[in-house]
Structure 1
Amino acid sequence: MQSKKSPEFGSDLIVDLMRAYGFKYAALNPGSSFRALHDSIVNYGGNERPKIVLACHEEIAVAIAHGYARAAGEPMVAICHDVVGLQHASMAIYNAWIDRVPMIVLGATGPSDPTGDAPFPRLAPVHTAHLQGQLVRDYVKWDYQPASLPGVVESFARAYKIALTEPMGPVYLCYDAKLQEDRVSEIPALEPPERFPPSSPPSGDPRMLEETVRWIREAKNPVLIAGMVGRKRESWRSLAAFAEMLGLPVIDQGLRFNMPTTHPLTVTGAEKEVLGEADLVLALDVIDLYWAIHRLGQNHENLLNPDAKLIRMGMEDFTVRSWGEARRLVAINLSIIAETALALPQMVEIAGRLVAGDGSSRSRIEERAAKTRQRHDEIRARWRKEAERQWEMKPVSLPRLILELQEILKPHAWSLVNTGTGSSVWAKRLLDLDEPEQFCAGNPGGGLGHRFGASIGTALSAPLSNRLCVDLQADGDLLYTLSGLWTASHLKVPLLVVMTNNRSYYNDEEHAEHMAIRRKRPVENKTIGFRIEPPRADFAQIARGFDIYAEGPTEDPRELPG
């Protein structure tokens, strides 16, 4: 369980714990409050398991851990300096919380007792808070500051267990500087990590699951909305099998790889038509149900047939915090607490049993599936036609960029690890995403500055180690965390960054246009305070400054191939 050496200092023991629990990397920006832990990782642990991933900002460090966990299916460590480092990291921790990603954030403080003449840093008192976990308590699953070495051991085991128990999420552990730097007088016992497994999640009330399947079987136009079902890598197979068995049209929100974009039952892009016809909707792992069935225009447009039954299944009720719970309450007919990765295989079995001897249901299912396949083909054809319309536009249109990129990637194993707002829409419309390794993007928390760091972490993960990782990187997002380019270059990660540079915080520019129209004010002023020019940032030149090969900027679409 322990390294070959015996721990001499408290921080050595923390390294033993990280190694025992299988952590491969620790992303960090240096801080004097964990100078002892840093020393122990390097000189006691040999900078192996965990290996330091140096970032130039804590938001990047935590985003790296986020992307890694999302792709690898296992947590990563991020380490933050006391107070100021944790403040820098807070946005990224919030993103991980919303995305239900497990990670262990380690912090440091103090020494809590400032008396005496031990050589602690001069700024230590300024950077000490009681307790630091209060900074992030509303969007971590648990935080703790142990006061002894046995407490360090026990709290690490508990943090790991809590982070990996569904619904997963980040946890925060804070270590007093004195506790790290003091010599170990007695080594606490380290129990094997397998003695503290994550708790088994609920698989759903069997009666409710059967009732759900019966309602779907009896419905004329049932619809399935998939939110974060693909958190577990193989869950999409159960989702596809269930949809196929009952001929269900699937609206994929794109927060994970839920269904192949080429699957004939996916109808993403026809939400208004599909939900308007629906007489039953099953929402699986949907974060915000209200906006899954509404569209924002001049007012809130309800897309759902008012007579439709609505069933919600997932673990969202376990993520509620009074601090951050402002989502609209939606009236539903059935609410089922269940880990969909466990519930879906049961529902496939139930559906097979109920449909097997029911010729009428099978006929209705086949007819619905045929209609859905036709709609799927029409949606994809419509997007292709729109791509053709924008083919010669200057600057390069997003549809052309996506299709040219797909052509270049054909000979390679690849993964889309990041998309911006606009590129996300077109990537899911046009790319043939057929397996979960091809799509590891998403940021439901919406915090800018996340995407590039997450792309680095994703590219570090073992499942994607033999793939070319593709980051469709928005300019406004990258400007938050440009120093991430240094980390990517230093690590030599297999990352292709394609800048989708519109030189604007365009989402907010659209809001400005909306407000101007609503208030009958000059629409031409919509660019003020949103356009990122002049000057125009030359991202290729910036990248070359970090020893990264770069081309561009490219505005003529004829220059894209090759």
Structure 2
Amino acid sequence: MNKYTTSTAFLEALQEAGVSYVFSNFGSDHPAIIEALAEAKKKGKDFPKVITCPHEMVALSAAHGYALVTGKPQAVLVHVECGTQNLGAAIHNAWKGRIPVIIFAGTSPFTQEGELLGSRNEFIHWIQDVPDQRGIVRGYTKYDNEIRTGTNVKQMVHRAFQIAQSSPQGPVYLVGAREVMEEETVPVTINNELWKPVAPRALPPKDAKAIIEDLYRAKRPLVVTSYLGKNKRAVGELVKFCEKIAIPVLESVPSHMNFPADSSLHCGYQWNTDKQNKLLAEADFILVLDSDVPWIPLKNKPSKDAIIYYIDEDPLKEGMPLWYIPSKRFFAADAETALQQLNDILSHSTFDKGQIEKRRAWVETYHQQLQKKQLDAEKYQEEYITPEYLLACIREICDENTVVINELISNYQASYTHLNRNEPGSILGSGAGGLGWNGGASIGVKLADPSKTVINLTGDGSYMFSVPSTVQWISRRYNAPFLTVIFNNRGWKSPKLSTLGVHPEGIANETNEFFVDFTPHADLSKIAEASGGAYARKVEDPANVKNALQEALKAVRSGRSAVLDVYLPSIKEEGQMAKKKDFASL
């Protein structure tokens, strides 16, 4: 009793680093941590709050969502290599989405005859002893290490946080055996001011001037971005930059609100578009800011004569074996800092006002055309619920205090187009491709800012990936209610779209058989009702959409999560509708 152990020091280090929550799935490797937490609770000592997570995917997704809102990394504790492997898609998301988080896993004890406290006493300790546990996630972390003694555990933890929070941010992974975590040690005092992340990088002043010089000569400049809005302050700098000389903005596979949708300079979104974007084709100057995939060269790319500058916190994309966007210059720089530099130069520069106003008028016309197409697509249909109409109805219930969690995938481009978000931080995506992120992320966002109304948009496939029983149980236990809207087409639409992208006239299209149909159909909202006491409702009639959204939102604001299972045309029905349309046009 009352021992100061490696585990005590480890938890103290998390507290010192500003961690609010430990998203945990404890196992046989954590007795010392559980004991230290229990002792702290008994004594009234402040440690991060434990959030019990019955699935690791949800745990890391929640830490991911929390970091998106606050910028502060949280801790995720998992069970040896089994729990580590269960992180799966979630650690892919944290790595590709550049999310700071510290993950800790125990390892099997390294003694078996009682030589040290914590020695092996369960059969599983032999089964879970693997040659390279850290290697499981090494390709998805910025840093991994093993805690070997309690004497320097705090320094290791603070170094891990420093690495996780330095640009480009990302997850870090620590392990420790039971014997080490049980070891008695002495307290160490840490000065947090000495462990700050690396300061943001700027453009070389000479090169910043060169960018503006090329911009001065451009007739059709364009900005392309994807995740600049991760830093809310960068959005204001981008608006200032573009408004000054009327530069249109194109968002490519956005994972944040990067530029206000209602600005006349906002010129739409692109995802897996199979048509050439007019702005990209006509641009003679393109500034790419924080984007992994600014365009897909196979079908949609800039002119070969366009001058391209690439500014990104990770401009070489070293974690992507095949990646190249030929550009005049690449800069490893913080978007906010770089835009401040460019804005400062612009404030002392003289441009042709006539040319700027002519371009502004052209861009405004383009923006208005996009808005008209958007409104036309949102029209109410009596026969079935369209994604565009559903999104327009969701837009109506969103206010300035709403955060949208977006994992719609096949309706991804439509979601950004029809939600029209204008506030930084008002819509969030994973920035990656590990499906099932939405549920845990919604919990993390709600915990990060309980004042926000959280609306989670997901397809039926990604909803099932999210481990909804775990998500809804956590939501109820920790008072983190949110609204989930399932865009249910009774199957995986994305593999169908991928197949049609390669074999548009293939046999799968001819027979309307893509092997992605979810038959028999599950009653998805009832999962949430059974496991989390959520308000659950299936919506099949277009006439009921608005009322259902209002009732569900009312439930959430009363403290109860809600799930609307909204039936869109199924994958099978879509294929049949397309064939009828083709036949009618003959």
Do they fold alike, i.e. is TM over 0.5?
A: yes
Q: Which residue of 2 aligns with 1:144?
A: 145
SS of match in other structure, 1:33? coil
Q: Which residue of 2 aligns with 1:416?
A: 404
Q: Deviations over 1:34-68 (max 9, x none)?
A: 23213322432569541111111111111111111
The one-letter code sitting in structure 2 at the alignment partner of 1:431 is L
Mean Cα deviation higher: 218-227 or 543-552:
543-552
Q: Which residue of 2 aligns with 1:262?
A: 262
Does residue 533 of structure 1 match 2:495? Answer: no
Structure 1 residues 510 and 319: CA distance shift in structure 2, 3 A: closer
Match for 2:483 among 482, 488, 496? 496
Does residue 405 of structure 1 match 2:394? Answer: yes
Q: Is the 8 A contact 2:529 2:536 kept in 1?
A: no
Structure 1 residues 64 and 42: CA distance shift in structure 2, 3 A: farther
Q: Which residue of 2 aligns with 1:164?
A: 165
Q: Deviations over 1:84-113 (max 9, x none)?
A: 000111321111110011111111112123
Mean Cα deviation higher: 490-499 or 93-102:
490-499
Mean Cα deviation higher: 547-556 or 210-219:
547-556
Structure 1 residues 116 and 209: CA distance shift in structure 2, 3 A: same
Alpha-carbon separation, structure 1, partners of 2:402 and 2:12 = 35
Q: Deviations over 1:438-464 (max 9, x none)?
A: 22x2123211122211121111113xx
Does residue 374 of structure 1 match 2:365? Answer: yes
Structure 1 residues 22 and 318: CA distance shift in structure 2, 3 A: farther
Q: Which residue of 1 aligns with 2:86?
A: 88
Distance apart, 1:494 and its partner CA: 3.1
Does residue 278 of structure 1 match 2:280? Answer: no
Q: Deviations over 1:300-330 (max 9, x none)?
A: 2243122111111112246513xxx233322
Does residue 433 of structure 1 match 2:421? Answer: yes
Alpha-carbon separation, structure 2, partners of 1:470 and 1:405 = 9
Q: Which residue of 2 aligns with 1:15?
A: 11
Alpha-carbon separation, structure 2, partners of 1:504 and 1:402 = 19
The one-letter code sitting in structure 2 at the alignment partner of 1:265 is L
Structure 1 residues 525 and 123: CA distance shift in structure 2, 3 A: farther
Q: Is the 8 A contact 1:167 1:319 kept in 2?
A: no
Q: Which residue of 2 aligns with 1:51?
A: 49
The one-letter code sitting in structure 1 at the alignment partner of 2:344 is E
Alpha-carbon separation, structure 2, partners of 1:210 and 1:393 = 56
| Cα-Cα RMSD | 2.1
The one-letter code sitting in structure 1 at the alignment partner of 2:421 is L
Q: Is the 8 A contact 1:280 1:310 kept in 2?
A: yes
Alpha-carbon separation, structure 1, partners of 2:503 and 2:223 = 37
Q: Is the 8 A contact 1:76 1:104 kept in 2?
A: yes
Distance apart, 1:138 and its partner CA: 1.2
Q: Is the 8 A contact 2:438 2:457 kept in 1?
A: no
Mean Cα deviation higher: 429-438 or 91-100:
429-438
Aligned counterparts, 1:286-365, within 5 A:
286-288=291-293, 292-294=294-296, 300-317=298-315, 320-321=318-319, 325-355=320-350, 358=351, 361-365=352-356
SS of match in other structure, 2:305? coil
Q: Is the 8 A contact 1:217 1:246 kept in 2?
A: no
Distance apart, 1:532 and its partner CA: 1.1
Q: Deviations over 1:322-359 (max 9, x none)?
A: xxx2333222112122111211111111112112xx4x
Alpha-carbon separation, structure 2, partners of 1:48 and 1:558 = 51
Structure 1 residues 148 and 262: CA distance shift in structure 2, 3 A: same
Q: Is the 8 A contact 2:407 2:462 kept in 1?
A: no
Q: Is the 8 A contact 2:150 2:181 kept in 1?
A: no
Q: Is the 8 A contact 1:41 1:50 kept in 2?
A: no
Structure 1 residues 129 and 275: CA distance shift in structure 2, 3 A: same
Alpha-carbon separation, structure 2, partners of 1:90 and 1:543 = 23
Structure 1 residues 396 and 39: CA distance shift in structure 2, 3 A: farther
Q: Deviations over 1:139-162 (max 9, x none)?
A: 100001021112311111110100
The one-letter code sitting in structure 1 at the alignment partner of 2:90 is A
SS of match in other structure, 2:128? coil
Structure 1 residues 204 and 250: CA distance shift in structure 2, 3 A: same
Q: Is the 8 A contact 1:516 1:526 kept in 2?
A: no
Alpha-carbon separation, structure 1, partners of 2:300 and 2:377 = 26
SS of match in other structure, 1:316? coil
The one-letter code sitting in structure 1 at the alignment partner of 2:375 is R
Alpha-carbon separation, structure 1, partners of 2:316 and 2:32 = 37
Q: Which residue of 2 aligns with 1:198?
A: 197
Distance apart, 1:293 and its partner CA: 2.9
Identity of aligned residues (%): 23
Q: Which residue of 2 aligns with 1:224?
A: 223
The one-letter code sitting in structure 1 at the alignment partner of 2:105 is G
Distance apart, 1:73 and its partner CA: 1.1
Q: Deviations over 1:204-240 (max 9, x none)?
A: 1111111111111210101000122112121100011
Mean Cα deviation higher: 309-318 or 84-93:
309-318
Mean Cα deviation higher: 93-102 or 394-403:
394-403
The one-letter code sitting in structure 2 at the alignment partner of 1:476 is G
Distance apart, 1:516 and its partner CA: 4.7
Match for 1:30 among 23, 26, 30? 26
Q: Is the 8 A contact 2:408 2:415 kept in 1?
A: no
Q: Which residue of 2 aligns with 1:505?
A: 492
Match for 2:104 among 103, 106, 109? 106
Alpha-carbon separation, structure 2, partners of 1:66 and 1:136 = 16
SS of match in other structure, 1:78? strand
The one-letter code sitting in structure 1 at the alignment partner of 2:248 is P
Q: Is the 8 A contact 1:167 1:315 kept in 2?
A: yes
Alpha-carbon separation, structure 2, partners of 1:522 and 1:198 = 51
Alpha-carbon separation, structure 2, partners of 1:431 and 1:409 = 9
Alpha-carbon separation, structure 2, partners of 1:40 and 1:552 = 43
SS of match in other structure, 1:32? coil
The one-letter code sitting in structure 1 at the alignment partner of 2:61 is A
Q: Is the 8 A contact 1:28 1:61 kept in 2?
A: yes
Number of residues of Structure 1 aligned to a counterpart in Structure 2: 534
Distance apart, 1:173 and its partner CA: 1.0
Q: Which runs of 5+ in 2 are unaligned?
A: 271-275, 548-586
Alpha-carbon separation, structure 1, partners of 2:283 and 2:316 = 28
Does residue 485 of structure 1 match 2:472? Answer: yes
Q: Which residue of 1 aligns with 2:58?
A: 60
Mean Cα deviation higher: 52-61 or 129-138:
129-138
Distance apart, 1:512 and its partner CA: 3.1
Mean Cα deviation higher: 77-86 or 109-118:
109-118
Alpha-carbon separation, structure 2, partners of 1:134 and 1:447 = 19
SS of match in other structure, 2:29? helix
SS of match in other structure, 2:244? helix
The one-letter code sitting in structure 1 at the alignment partner of 2:32 is A
Structure 1 residues 443 and 39: CA distance shift in structure 2, 3 A: same
The one-letter code sitting in structure 2 at the alignment partner of 1:374 is T
Q: Is the 8 A contact 1:208 1:336 kept in 2?
A: no
Distance apart, 1:510 and its partner CA: 1.9
